[in-house]
Each structure stands twice: as C-alpha cells, then as structure tokens.
Structure 1
C-alpha cells in the first residue's frame, strides 16, 4: 500500500451467487487486482462451493470443484492476494433454506432467508458448512460469517414463544446466534478470527454490546455504499465499537452492484464518491482499530433477484476506486494510471444528461411531440446504437461464454440485451411517427 492510504488491507469482494466467473477468468484478473492496489479477496462462495455429503444438494449446477478452489487459492497467492472466505450463517441463507431438506430450519416457515436460531440442528448445519470450507482454506487468518440483514428475525413461532420470557429480547436473540457461530469458529480454529457485517450491531446500546462479550469474538465490518455517506456518523460508530471493547474493525465500500437491483451499467462516479467518503472516515477515526477496507461487488441483491452489473463491467470502477484509495484521493494522475492499466484513451467518470428521457419521454411519444432540434440529437445516435447492437450481439455472447457459465450468459442476455434492442426499435418507430406528424 502507498503511504497515502490509511488502509493496510484493500480487499476485492467476489460475490459468486450470480454470474460466477470461470476460474480461467479469475486467473486473468487477479494480476490486475494486485497491480491496481488490492492485496486480498473476500470471496462469497454461496452455492458455488463444492459442498459434500448431506450438503451436496447446495451446489449450483456449475459449482467449482475442489481442484478449482485450490487453483483459485493458488492464483491468489501467486499475486499476493490474501483470501478471506465468506459463508452466510444467519441471514441471506436462501441458497440453503430453499431446499426442502432444510426448510424446517427456517426462522419463518414461509421465508427461506433467515435461519432458526433456536434449533441445535441449525448450528450443526452451519458448523458443517464452515468445516468444509475451512478444509480447503488452511492457513487463513479471517473467516467472514455474514450475519447481515437477518430479516424477520423474531417472527418465527419458536422466537415468539422465546421472546415472551421476561429476560429475553430481540438483541439477545440476535447476539446469541452470532456468538454461537463465532465461538464455534474460534474453538475449532483458534488462529482464525471471525468477521461479521455490522448492521445488526449498530443499533445496540454500548452497555449491552459491552456486557454481551461479542467484542471478544468478532471483528465488525461497517458497510455503507451511498455516495453522500455521513462521515461524522461513521466516525462516531467506530468510536462506539472501540468503547464497547472491539479491538479491530473493518469497513466496506462498493465498486459495483449497489445502485439498483437490476443495474446493468456501473455508475463509476457514485462509487468513487463513496470510496472518497470512506477515506475521510479513515482519516478521522481511530486508525489503530482499522484492519482494512473491502470493496464490495454485489452480483445479486439476494439469491432470488436478477443480476446486477457483471464483473467485467465493474472493472473500470474497481480500478478507479482502488487507485483512489491507494493514493489517498482522485487526481488527474490517478486517472492516467487507471487509463494505462485498462488500455483506455479517455475514462469517463460522470454520467451525462440523456436527451431521450428529457425531450422524448413516454408523454411526448404518445402524443407524437418532439422539438425539431432534438430529432438531430436523438435519431442518429439511436440508429447508430441499434446498428452496433445488432453487429456485436454474437461477439458479445462469445465473450460472455469465455468468462461465465451458460446459465449466467442466458440470463444476462435475456435480461439486458434483448429488451434493449426492442426498446431501441420501438424508440425509432415512435420517432418516425412523431416526424411524420410534424411534416
């Protein structure tokens, strides 16, 4: 890391619950990650891990094999990228609880998102998942156990009965499961420190957090992906965790996948601003606590949602953000460095106004209204874009197939390519109709 960066570790998050890249592609981009300033990977396997035995049904159709996992780890080590596995153990358990065999372990019978924390079998299930992942990741220093967005916690029948007891409350319910999983990791792997997303901890009082003993078990990872993030609030939160006894913590920004559930193009400017805000937090907060930053790259909002921007689409944003963190800010020099690494002549950070949405909206199109000047702005670009789409669609499909497995290619093309072509075709038809109406 550069002396300008307050982050000792800069990790890239690989979210494999959607469009997981082939190992051959990861081998291509790991050197780039390292060159841009990353020194670690937070890898969220979800259903891409080769679970065995009674957990084998969790595997996706194209799940990595054990030998492929070893190759990923080999490539990471080759390029000085420390691996931290992430396995969800409380919330976001859809990839497990959607299966009938494990549906009885749901917190709420109808919803497959959260694990029932009252059943011994729940902890046994999580323990087996952790054990199998650990077996292929020997020598790691951290293990991320998730625990974010535990929606509907407390709404299951067992929880409702448990909460009726006077000494019980929602905070205790959450922390009991979190501590149980973290303790399991520490008992079986004393040299590995558990990490948790911090959103379930934020609202808990200092007194309760301190008394709970959770600070001795986990390192929180504070996450926020908005571009206008409140620096002062985050500094206060870090200080709160320090007072509660947490010796170390992490923060998490985003480089893609956090601006819309079906976002297909990465908004670089948004993510750049988010990471700059995190630099300000790091400069103002307790530096001795800070382990590092993870740049998240969400591929789906959850197991059942559509794909966000594909990983290759987010690479320019990742490059900008990593270099900004490495150099302590975004400058013309940083821009030139990124352009050099990516082989781009002119990197665009900001989005520009779209003439179509402003001057040829559905309102205008229905009434065949358009300013004559706007025809000259819209029509040539729309024709050119449609021509280019038709010309490159086969080339695009071939490129996607080189990086991703067939089901991801099919989903992305159906979700993003075909609707776009249809919209362009309809736009040109409406434009012709508006032009005809004016003549």
Structure 2
C-alpha cells in the first residue's frame, strides 16, 4: 500500500534551536526533501525568529532576519513544501524564560522551562509571540503551539494554592492554558488550526478532554520515536482521541535527534524501524484518523543541551524514512530512489560511505563527521588507553616528570605523529565544510564538543613525549 495514501502530509521538522542552517543551504536541500517525498516543513524557529519590540531580546546572535524568513518561505513554496511554524507556548520555554525580563513568568522560579499559566502576562507574552510569527506566515493552515513536556506544572506557588480547590487538577490547569493559547490563535488567525504535541493529553480521562473544549480547537500530534513502538497502544490512543472529539490526528516519528543527547552519527536502522511501525499503526487504527506524519529532527533535547546529529549527517536517514513512508516499506523502488537522490551507487544502512562518496548537499560533512566519530577519536583513545607502551611506560606519572625509557619512544611517537597529521589534514577541511552550512557559533560549538577534547589530549601526549626525549614539542 502506497504511503502517500496513508499519510497525506509528510512533514520534515527543522529544529532551529541548535546549528540552524544558513538560508543558502536550505535552498540546496529543499529540492531534495521534495524529491524524497516530503510535502511540508515544520519550522521550529525558537530563538532564530526575528522578534521585534520587547521580544527582540529573544533573538539569537545569528537569528534570521525578516527578509531571510521570507526567503525561506519563498524557497519552500517554490519546491512544493508547505510551511508549518512551530512556537513553544507552555513547556520548553527556556529561550524566553532564561532572560531576566521574563524570569518572573516561570512556573517554578529556579527553572526556565515552564511558563506560569496563572499570570495574565504569560498569555499576553505568548499572544505577542504568536502574532509576530503569524505576521510573517500569513495564510499558514497550521501553527504548532508545542505544549509538550510541561515539566513542573503545578509546582509553582500560585499553582499549589489553586490546586487546593477540590475541582482543580494539574490536568485541568494544562487544558486551561492550552485552550487559552489555541483560542487566541483561532480568534486572531481564523484560517489557522493549532497543533499540539500529545504527551500531556495521553493519560487524561476521556470525559475531561471532551468537556474541556480543547478537541474543538487543536489537532494533537502523537509522537513516539522508539524502534519498538507499541502499535496496539497507539491504536487505542488514536481511538481515544477520536472518541473525545478531536477531528484530525497527526503522527510524529523521528529521523534524527532521538537516540541520545550527544549522538553524533545517526542510527539509520533505529529510525527506519520507527517509520515502519508507524505505518503499522496507521493501518491498524481508525480509517483516515492520521492525516499527516511529522518526521522530527531534533537538534538539541532542550535549549541548554548539547548538539545532536547535524542535519547533513542525517540526510541519508531522512531519505530512507521518507521513501519508506511514501512506498509503505523500504522496498527496492524506495531504495533505488534513495540511492539516486543521494548520489550513491550502493546503500548500506550501517555505513553510508563504505561503497563510495555521496553527492547530496552536505555529504562532505557526513564523510568528515564519520571520520571523526568512527576513526580519529577512537584512535586517540586507543593510543592513550590501549597502547601498552603508553600505559606501561608513559603513564601520567611519567608524563608529569617527563621521563621515558628511550627504547619505548619508537613504540609511541610514530603513531602519535601520524594521528596528529591526520587531524591536521581533516580539521581545516571539516571547519570549511561546516562554515559553508552553519553560522560561526554552531561551528565553534561542534568542534569544541567533538574535536578539541581528543585533539588536545593527543597534542598533550606528543608535547610531553617530545619534552621527555629532549626535543621541541609539536
């Protein structure tokens, strides 16, 4: 069964709260997304949106300008990709609540993640953010208002007092804020339907959901990124949401950013299994219940987390996932399309670069990051911790005192200098490739997290060795 009949909308999520691509790179990958089967984008701007007025302090250093956002929207239209903006309005509000000007709107004073739903200023703030985003996205059919992982809800002082009333609960508090934000969207932008992540709604009683009025205002996005997704439970959840009055539902899988906060290389097989199980769920669930699927591509687990896999690194996995959703399986036809679009003669789910170089935009980043992740860093660790001459005759004790038996030098120095030479060749190439796609702060962050620690250990070893044998350091 063709995936196009199972999921009318196949949405690629661009998480811009870490390593946001330059517009020039988006112009290269949008045609690829379309060729692979995508027909929409979920743009999670976070601090990359060009907020104005009092909200201007939310902008990141390299935030897109209004003209750049318009350019992105034009490129998307040009390539048949409908844009759905995403704006967090309840949980994951760190990029707003970390600022002193808005810190008083935290649910819990210590944590900048959750908005205090009791403060009238909270809804005014969210409303202003929504209106500015929609001003640049006029005509958008959907606006995703987030509302996932609303940690610490009910733990603030105002909430604790409110919850002392018998009829109140954390669930009703959540629904109240969700309803208020969605009502603002509907009132100010009547042609736009709010979407919400479903996790805060999953365990709520059917009656409570039905009575809240929320099902008439929003469409929930059921997210699950596991390779062992529980298909029967997803079917039950779909049936529950339909019974509560939600007219349309969405699914959300993942093509990257869901297997580890510090993941650098994307496990394609995990994400393929995730897509295939979502296909099982939609086939087993109520007919026509899921009108679209969002392939999430998280770049950070939250605003303060490290970077997950960079977008170019995950494009082969995205290709496999999109084609599998389009064809209903990772068929030979799907595989052939992936190979053609990526410019690779043979596709191996465990090693994209083994049979030859890819030619998709950013494939050089994939090749270089793979070298770092699979070879160079492990080579440094093997030298420092696995070379018996280093551990036995040039331990930290010896290195501190710069002493070594001369006969051991040939067992250490050639390998150390060879590794340094490989790093010296790769690093400028990697930095140039990253700079073509990303802004300077993202390049700096990725190199500091993934390159510098290993390289500095290697340089330190070589320096100590040179001093121990009376030679100038490298």
Structures share fold, TM-score greater than 0.5: yes
1:52 aligned onto 2:52: yes
Quote the offset at 1:95 in angstroms: 0.3
Specify the alignment match of 2:299 in structure 1: 299
Task: Give, in whole Å, the separation in 1 of the partners of 2:331 and 2:383.
Answer: 37
- Quote the offset at 1:39 in angstroms: 0.1
d(CA) in 2 for partners of 1:420 and 1:325?
39
CA contact (8 A) 1:5 1:325 kept: no
Partner of 2:443: 409
Distance 1:72 1:363 in 2: 48
Distance in 2, matches of 1:144 and 1:174, equals: 16
The residue aligned with 1:279 is: 279
Q: How does 1:20-419 map to 2 (within 5 A)?
A: 20-350=20-350, 388-419=422-453
Contact 1:87 1:145 in 2 (8 A): yes
Question: How far apart are 1:239 and its partner, in Å?
Answer: 0.6
Q: Offset of 1:287 from its aligned partner? A: 2.9
Q: Which runs of 5+ in 2 are unaligned?
A: 355-373, 393-413, 464-474
Per-residue deviation, 1:205? 1.0
The alignment's TM-score, normalised by the length of structure 1, stands at 0.89
Q: Is the contact between residue 5 and residue 327 of structure 1 (CA under 8 Å) also seen in structure 2?
A: no
Structure 1 residues 395 and 362: CA distance shift in structure 2, 3 A: closer
CA distance in structure 2 between the aligned counterparts of 1:103 and 1:153, rounded to whole angstroms: 16
CA distance in 2, matches of 1:172, 1:396: 50
- Asked whether the 8 Å contact 1:221–1:250 carries over to 2, the reply is yes
Secondary structure of 1:320 counterpart: helix
**1:99: Cα distance to partner?**
0.4
Shift in Å at residue 381 of structure 1? 12
- Which has the higher Rg, Structure 1 or Structure 2? 2
Which deviates the most, 32-41 or 161-170? 161-170
Q: Which moved more, 1:16-25 or 1:360-369?
A: 360-369
**Change in 2 beyond 3 A, CA 1:408/1:164:** same
Displacement after TM superposition at 1:350 (Å): 3.0
The offset of 1:339, in angstroms, is 1.4
- 1:285–1:365: structure 2 CA closer, same or farther, 3 Å change rule? farther
SS state of the match for residue 112, structure 1? strand
Separation in structure 2 between the aligned mates of residue 260 and residue 64 of structure 1, nearest angstrom? 28
Shift of 1:364: 6.4
Distance 2:134 2:147 in 1: 18
What's the offset of the Cα at 1:130?
0.3
CA distance in 2, matches of 1:261, 1:3: 30
Aligned partners of 1:381 and 1:284: how far apart in 2? 57
Between the aligned partners of 1:392 and 1:242, the Cα distance in structure 2 is: 54
Q: In structure 2, how many angstroms separate the alpha carbons of the residues matched to 1:391 and 1:101?
A: 46
CA shift digits 1:323-380 (9 cap, x unpaired) = 111111012332222111111233221379x9989xx7999668969xxxxxxxxxx9
| Cα deviation, residue 428, structure 1 | 11
Q: Distance in 1 between matches of 2:287 and 2:325?
A: 15
Map of 2:365 onto structure 1 = none
Q: Distance in 1 between matches of 2:216 and 2:183?
A: 10
Q: Name the SS of the counterpart of 2:85 in structure 1.
A: strand
Distance change (3 Å), C-alpha of 1:27 and 1:283: same
1:411 Cα offset (Å): 0.3
CA distance in structure 2 between the aligned counterparts of 1:104 and 1:397, rounded to whole angstroms: 40
Q: CA RMSD in A?
A: 2.7
Figure out how many residues of one structure are paired with residues of the other and give that number: 417
Structure 2 residue matching 1:288: 3-state secondary structure: coil
Please give the secondary structure, in 2, of the residue aligned with 1:262: coil
Paired residues of 1:5 and 1:328 also in contact (CA < 8 A): no
3-state secondary structure, aligned to 1:92: coil
Q: Secondary structure at 2:322's aligned position in 1?
A: helix
Mapped contact 2:420–2:458 kept (Cα < 8 A): yes
